[in-house]
Structure 1
Amino acid sequence: MRRRWMPLQTSAHRTSTGDRRPIMIDTSGTLYDSLARHAENQPSAPAIVLFDGTTYDFAYLKRQADRIAAALRSKGVQPGDRVAVKLEKSIEALAALFGVFRAGAIFLPINTQYSRREVTDIAEDAEPRLMIGSQEGAADVDGLPFVSLDLGSPDGEDLLEATPLDATPDDQPPGPSDLAAMLYTSGTTGRPKGAPLSHGNLTANLSALAQFWKIGANDRVLHILPMFHAHGLFLAAAMPLGVGGSLILVEKFTTEATLAKIPEATVLMAVPAIYSRLLADPAFNAETCRNLRLATSGSAPLSPELFDAIAQRSGLNIVERYGSTETCIITSNPLEGQRKVGSVGVPLPNIDVRIVDRNGRPVEQGEVGRVQINSPATISGYWQRPDLTDEWTSDGYFDVGDLGKLDEDGYLYLVGRSKELIISGGYNVYPREVEIVVANLDGVREAAVFGAPHPDFGEGVVCAVTLSSGEAVDENEIAAAIKPDLAAYKRPKKIVILDEFPRNAMGKILKNDLKDRYASIFNS
């Protein structure tokens, strides 16, 4: 089964801020080129607004990016070099992003929560020329040059020390085919791998998504995500700035800070775990969200129950989207038109999605299979790993590693990771199907389903759950409640109740941690 995006017939979109301005991410250039264009055409327009109201315009952001690029060149950074950046969300982090782009180097974001060992592992693989961090930080890797970046303080050794305010590299900026950034996969399925994205990968995908969501210069995007992954770095930051919009930065996510700034925003991008926390506060309501024209969710599945709860409380119909580090964004529910709860939407422009069986043959509509895509935003290979080619097919498709199905309208539904498929007694069990049934029970907050070695069935289905606040539901009650809705082979053979799930920085449940923890659950 295959589905290519078809244009939706919609009317022009308007917001309370007036007509939308033209989309201006030029796919023949780079994201830095878009920044430079806005700095010339609307130099005093707000680009970044801090929580305290401090505002930086496009002219300032472009000037600092140019200075950073010139300073990097003076430090010996050449086009194609990797520059590691370990900065908390800030004006410095955004200026560094565009500065590295202007220098023709490859932006290598480092999770600020990573330990010395984790940073060293990435540095040994990526071999960056240097690391940019805060003045409070220190080099995490022996032998890796470290420079601080603090635009607000003239004190101390700083990357921009002795760099003139009007400094800019004297060479030509990079083009679409040059590498722009390298992000490392989350490692939920093993050793992290470097995914190098070109400037063309980024502009093609972000331009398509900006048009799909009608992101424009009048939009004010509330930025509450970390900036060391694709969601927070490119979707929530680079895309709005690329079309001339502005960011409202919440440096560290808290429910209180987010609720305080939502009334100022027109767009909110978040993950299910954040929406759950917002729902726990009565202040998350229709009045608070009155100016939001778009609220999106990604990076983890959004349950139908959470979708409905958000809609009932706030009036927001969340737009769920789907992508990966290697492919950028693949599908999204439409901004206008039918949004199907439980679906991650339809393919973006110029993206082809197909569902195949284990032998690579297309399956029938509605059948579950492996999700494969063909997209101009997909990486061409992993960094320094020519041995890893299994994800790419001979006809140009990339196997995302997910299991899904397409309906009659071309909407994609995910049922789990292909590596998470449970084969119990010869039957295929899709974790997502079981999770939806369990999570729909009264008293259950979330469910995570995985397989564990079983002496009789090969694998047995295990379901870990967390409960809603104040609820007292036991394993036997859950088992009895799901019995009418699941075939016997799909029902969990063990149910465990946890206080919290292990999660990564994006709030995604770390199922490998759960699988390791309960690997012997059927041997006891």
Structure 2
Amino acid sequence: MPEYLARTVDELVRLRALRDGSATAVIDPLARLTYTELDTGTADLAAALLAAGIGKGTRVGLIMPNGVDWVRIAIAVTRLGAVLVPLSTLLTTPELVTQLRVAAVEHLITVPEFRGHRYRDGLHGVLGLPDDPDAVIRHVELPALRRICSVERIFELSASPEVAEVAAAAAASVSAADPLLIMFTSGSRGAPKGVIHSHGSALGAVESGLRDRCIDRGTRLYLPMPFFWVGGFGGGVLSALLAGATLVTEEIPRPETTLRLLEHERVTLFRGWPDQAVALAHRAETMRVDLSALRPGSLDALLPPEQRARPGARANLFGMTESFGPYCGYRADTDLPESAFGSCGRPFDGMQVRIADPADGTPVPPGTVGEIHLRGPHILRGICGRSREDLLTADGYYRTGDLGSLDKAGFLFYHGRSDDMVKISGATVYPSEVERALRGIAGVRGAFVTDVDRGRGAEVAAAVVHNRTLTTARVRAAARDVLSAFKIPTVWRLLDSDEAVPRGATGKVDIAGLRALLVSEGRAADESPTGSMTGGSA
């Protein structure tokens, strides 16, 4: 049976073990699993979960960093027909309580601590949970929650042969229409949303983009995204399963350890953040790391100069949690037609994209900027607490809130968020457009743009991550070559690392925090090569 005909995670895991059983499925610095081991191990774990009270439809939260064990638990949960709720390791206790409530999580599986966050202790402190880890929880703040279980305890569970038979029957009863997971996302200005996807919608979405993302059997894929994001779970875990690839991951990406991992595991495809790739490329030169296994389709900065594309020549794969990852693209190792440079490519099979007038929802002509609407079998099945009528148009399209245009050849160009458009002295500015222009300046590793008001009306403001060679005056001068005068930021902040950029629990930039960073007290030091802020006319 072709991989794309596998309708559920259980079918896919069994099929992969049959076809590629001895191939390595997932690797972290401390462990690795073959596809056979993934199949047998997660079948056993699914039975143990069933014995512990987790069954088809049970909502199971998971908080832990990337690694082989994350994959084992997630696959076991979803094979059984339970609904996986991946939760960010960045969540504060109040944020965690909110997401557990919104998703009606019944069982929470968690590591005790990660990067200073103590998840069970935090819940205990706020809710006064029982000390007995096996006690049934009943609390008015989280009426659905019944148990919190440690990752260590999960792997101590077992099941009788009779329960294992029932678990196998439960897995076989799961259909493509059954819910697979609830994944939280948020806009830069909005509250987190619990997006529901079925087995069929998620697997179909991932499969539709595999070719353009250059993932196939034998690919050794490194992806830095956390698995609690759709980019990590769909773009990494499920992509590897569907393609028969090997996924290489680690808990915390750091330049030195990541580079050694790429070298040791002979990674062939590096997908992720361009800023990270640039930083790794600089470090690789001093560490003398062998990255010769990387092939075209990886991010350009890590490839030899002769394999890099011209600026704008490769598609910016574009998607969202509601579409379960990218819904349009173009082969990552192939140049776009010149007329489509700077585009996101074309919609993948199964996805209908239209551009509509944001005011009345009517379709607009090719080349006209409007709101992107999506329809097809791969879009979300729902959002927690919201009705279908609230989510979709009368003819079944999802209103994304993104602005874009389609050319006559069907290539999609992204123009920013409809709620992020700002007016500067009556002129329209899209922060995403300014960000793209600034990132093309030599020495700039990242750019984050918004509007601020310092009492003189709205101004464009930018936080720029640089390589310690730039000053605000130099960046501003370079910006004049690529931006209209009214789009050039008048408030600047130079940063040595994008870790200084405030982010929410889903990893997206926190716009309120970014504004606070940009207008915080700083000296106007145009010639300072380090973090500074300056205002004034552009």
* Structure 2 match to 1:172: 170
* Structure 2 match to 1:462: 460
* Structure 2 match to 1:46: 24
> Which of 33, 41, 47 is 2:11 aligned to?
33
Amino acid of the structure 2 residue aligned with 1:238? L
Alpha-carbon shift at residue 37 of structure 1 (Å): 1.5
Cα distance 1:23–1:188, how it changes in 2: closer, same or farther (>3 A)? farther
Alpha-carbon shift at residue 250 of structure 1 (Å): 2.7
Amino acid of the structure 2 residue aligned with 1:333? Y
Q: Is 1:61 equivalent to 2:62 in the alignment?
A: no
Q: Is 1:93 equivalent to 2:95 in the alignment?
A: no
SS in 1 for 2:452: strand
Cα distance 1:95–1:134, how it changes in 2: closer, same or farther (>3 A)? same
User: For this pair of structures, how many residues does the alignment match?
Assistant: 480
Alpha-carbon shift at residue 231 of structure 1 (Å): 0.7
Alpha-carbon shift at residue 190 of structure 1 (Å): 2.0
* Structure 1 match to 2:487: 490
Alpha-carbon shift at residue 237 of structure 1 (Å): 1.3
Alpha-carbon shift at residue 189 of structure 1 (Å): 1.9
Q: Residues 415 and 431 of structure 1 are in contact (CA less than 8 Å); yes or no, is this contact kept in structure 2?
A: no
Q: Separation in 1 of the partners of 2:436 and 2:321?
A: 25
Q: Separation in 2 of the partners of 1:488 and 1:440?
A: 17
TM-score w.r.t. the length of structure 1 is 0.81
Cα distance 1:375–1:222, how it changes in 2: closer, same or farther (>3 A)? same
> Which of 91, 100, 120 is 2:97 aligned to?
120
Unaligned stretches of 5+ residues in structure 2? 124-128, 130-136, 138-144, 522-534
Q: Separation in 2 of the partners of 1:468 and 1:385?
A: 42
* Structure 1 match to 2:205: 205
Q: Separation in 2 of the partners of 1:213 and 1:484?
A: 32
Cα distance 1:63–1:368, how it changes in 2: closer, same or farther (>3 A)? same
Cα distance 1:517–1:294, how it changes in 2: closer, same or farther (>3 A)? same
Amino acid of the structure 1 residue aligned with 2:402? D
* Structure 1 match to 2:511: 511
* Structure 1 match to 2:330: 333
Give a deviation string over 1:177-230, Cα, whole Å, max 9, x none: 000000011452221110011001111111212244453332222243311111
Give a deviation string over 1:280-326, Cα, whole Å, max 9, x none: 214399984432335456xxxxxxxxx5x555648355663111011
> Where do 4+ consecutive residues of structure 1 move more than 6 Å?
284-287, 519-522
Q: Is 1:273 equivalent to 2:275 in the alignment?
A: yes
SS in 2 for 1:239: helix
Q: Residues 447 and 463 of structure 1 are in contact (CA less than 8 Å); yes or no, is this contact kept in structure 2?
A: no
> Which of 86, 111, 115 is 1:134 aligned to?
111
* Structure 2 match to 1:417: 417
Q: Residues 403 and 417 of structure 2 are in contact (CA less than 8 Å); yes or no, is this contact kept in structure 1?
A: yes
Give a deviation string over 1:134-179, Cα, whole Å, max 9, x none: 36676353434122234xxxxxx44543435893515332110000
Q: Residues 250 and 257 of structure 1 are in contact (CA less than 8 Å); yes or no, is this contact kept in structure 2?
A: no
The answer to which of 310-319 and 346-355 deviates more is: 310-319
Q: How does 1:98-113 map to 2 (within 5 A)?
A: 98-113=75-90
Q: Residues 452 and 461 of structure 2 are in contact (CA less than 8 Å); yes or no, is this contact kept in structure 1?
A: no
Q: How does 1:338-417 map to 2 (within 5 A)?
A: 338-339=335-336, 342-358=342-358, 359-386=360-387, 389=390, 391-417=391-417
Q: Residues 503 and 510 of structure 2 are in contact (CA less than 8 Å); yes or no, is this contact kept in structure 1?
A: yes
Cα distance 1:257–1:428, how it changes in 2: closer, same or farther (>3 A)? same
Alpha-carbon shift at residue 480 of structure 1 (Å): 5.1
Alpha-carbon shift at residue 33 of structure 1 (Å): 0.9
Amino acid of the structure 2 residue aligned with 1:471? T
Q: Separation in 2 of the partners of 1:444 and 1:247?
A: 30
Amino acid of the structure 2 residue aligned with 1:50? D
Percent of pairs with identical residues: 25
Alpha-carbon shift at residue 269 of structure 1 (Å): 2.0
* Structure 1 match to 2:531: none
Greater per-residue helix proportion: 2
SS in 2 for 1:183: strand
Amino acid of the structure 2 residue aligned with 1:315? Q
Amino acid of the structure 2 residue aligned with 1:24? E
SS in 2 for 1:326: helix
Give a deviation string over 1:470-518, Cα, whole Å, max 9, x none: 335235x555554465444434344444554224577654333223556
* Structure 2 match to 1:78: 55
Amino acid of the structure 1 residue aligned with 2:281? L
Q: Residues 149 and 160 of structure 1 are in contact (CA less than 8 Å); yes or no, is this contact kept in structure 2?
A: no
TM-score w.r.t. the length of structure 2 is 0.79
Unaligned stretches of 5+ residues in structure 1? 1-21, 151-156, 298-306
* Structure 2 match to 1:283: 285
Alpha-carbon shift at residue 95 of structure 1 (Å): 1.1
Amino acid of the structure 2 residue aligned with 1:414? Y
Q: Residues 406 and 413 of structure 2 are in contact (CA less than 8 Å); yes or no, is this contact kept in structure 1?
A: yes
Q: Residues 471 and 494 of structure 2 are in contact (CA less than 8 Å); yes or no, is this contact kept in structure 1?
A: no
Q: Separation in 2 of the partners of 1:149 and 1:289?
A: 34
Q: Could you say which structure has the greater relative contact order, defined with CA pairs below 8 angstroms and 6 or more residues apart?
A: 1
SS in 2 for 1:203: helix
Q: Separation in 2 of the partners of 1:405 and 1:373?
A: 13
Q: Separation in 2 of the partners of 1:449 and 1:342?
A: 19
Give a deviation string over 1:326-376, Cα, whole Å, max 9, x none: 112211122464336532221111212222222323333333222222231
Alpha-carbon shift at residue 397 of structure 1 (Å): 1.5
Q: Separation in 1 of the partners of 2:241 and 2:417?
A: 33
